Amino acid sequence: MNNAKLKRTLFLALKKAGKLVRKSITRRKVISKKGEIDLVTEVDCAAERLIIRTIHRAFPDHSFLAEESGASLKSGQGANSPCRWIIDPIDGTTNFAHSLPVCSVSIAYEEKGVVKLGGVYDPTRDELFFAEKGRGAFLNGTKIKVSKTKDLSEALLATGFPYDRRKDPDQYLRPFREFLMKAREIRRLGSAAIDLCYVACGRFDGYWEAKLSPWDKAAGMLILSEAGGKLSDYSGAPLTLPEPSMVASNGRIHKAILALLRQKV
């Protein structure tokens, strides 16, 4: 596969969708509900169509897994392709719907089940995080690395809460309370892709969240791994894309995060 063409297409799709998101963030939006508190706007759908159209022009035989349209090209051209693009057109839709400028466009390229390229673009800050498997992670072209924080008491952590949190809030509030008491501070930005990238570049030291979808984390997982970070599920096993619960860290505080998540109180 032509890596240069893949990267050009990835960057083009990220920037095109990002431009649409940036110009729309302060405008009035048409908002629908996928669940009780799970929102989607017409811009999510428009940005996703724009991304898929951009990629499809360059690679008409590739397939897609996207948040709003699901697995596209289920039949016909691209149905059996080993090449797949995993797309979240707006990660942080609730923020976007409220005109809060914390959201991102996330796109990963997967080949034979392995994510080879990942890009996360924050259009409000014009920050483009990118990684190529085996070649490092970058922010606007400058190489990035995870933090060197070794102690949980000195760590700035991030988390998120799933859309079903009202059914059993204690399972999410219990670890939040424990981390609140043990870590330096916790942030809740509302974009998993940004959270992962912020761990990758050292702004956060660790991050945990349950019930994520592949499009939430595919690009960010590669970016964090290439920046020297560590990823696992809540049990400590290596993280796979289908696994919904994730711990991400600089590696140095990973065991401490896992130990706290395992506590039963």
pLDDT, averaged across the chain: 90
Q: Is pLDDT at 260 greater than 90 in this prediction?
A: yes
So what's the pLDDT on residue 69?
75
Distance between CA atoms of 4 and 179, rounded to whole angstroms?
42
The band of 25, judged by pLDDT with boundaries at 50, 70 and 90, is very high
Tokens 């080879």 — which residue?
A: 116
Distance between CA atoms of 202 and 194, rounded to whole angstroms?
12
Structural contact between residues 89 and 107, judged by C-beta atoms closer than 8 angstroms: no
Closest to 87 (Cα-Cα) out of 62, 59, 106, 74:
106
**pTM score:** 0.92
So what's the pLDDT on residue 74?
43
In order of their start, the domains of the chain are: 3-143 (3.30.540.10), 152-262 (3.40.190.80)
So what's the pLDDT on residue 264?
55
Residue 73 is encoded by which pair of tokens? Answer: 């090209």
**Taken in order 57, 61, 64, 68, is the CA torsion positive or negative?**
positive
The band of 263, judged by pLDDT with boundaries at 50, 70 and 90, is confident
Distance between CA atoms of 99 and 97, rounded to whole angstroms?
6
Better-predicted residue by pLDDT, 80 or 107: 107
Provide mean pLDDT across the span 92-105: 94
DSSP label of 152 = G
- Per-residue pLDDT tens for 200-215? 999 999 999 998 999 9
Q: Which residues are registered as beta bridge partners of 186?
A: 157
Structural contact between residues 45 and 68, judged by C-beta atoms closer than 8 angstroms: yes
Pairing, β 39-41 against β 127-132 = unpaired
Determine how many CB atoms are found less than 10 A away from the CB of residue 164.
15
So what's the pLDDT on residue 1?
67
- Per-residue pLDDT tens for 156-199? 999 998 766 566 667 678 888 999 999 999 999 999 999 999 99
Q: Where are the beta strands (DSSP E) in the chain?
A: 31-33, 39-41, 63-66, 70-72, 83-91, 104-111, 114-122, 127-132, 137-139, 142-143, 156-159, 185-187, 206-209, 230-232, 246-249
**Taking every pair of C-alpha atoms in the chain, what is the biggest distance, in angstroms?**
54
- Per-residue pLDDT tens for 27-82? 876 666 655 545 678 899 999 999 999 999 999 999 999 977 765 544 344 556 89
**Taken in order 88, 93, 96, 97, is the CA torsion positive or negative?**
positive
Indicate which residues carry an active-site annotation: 67, 88, 90-91, 93, 216
Residue 35 is encoded by which pair of tokens? Answer: 């669940």
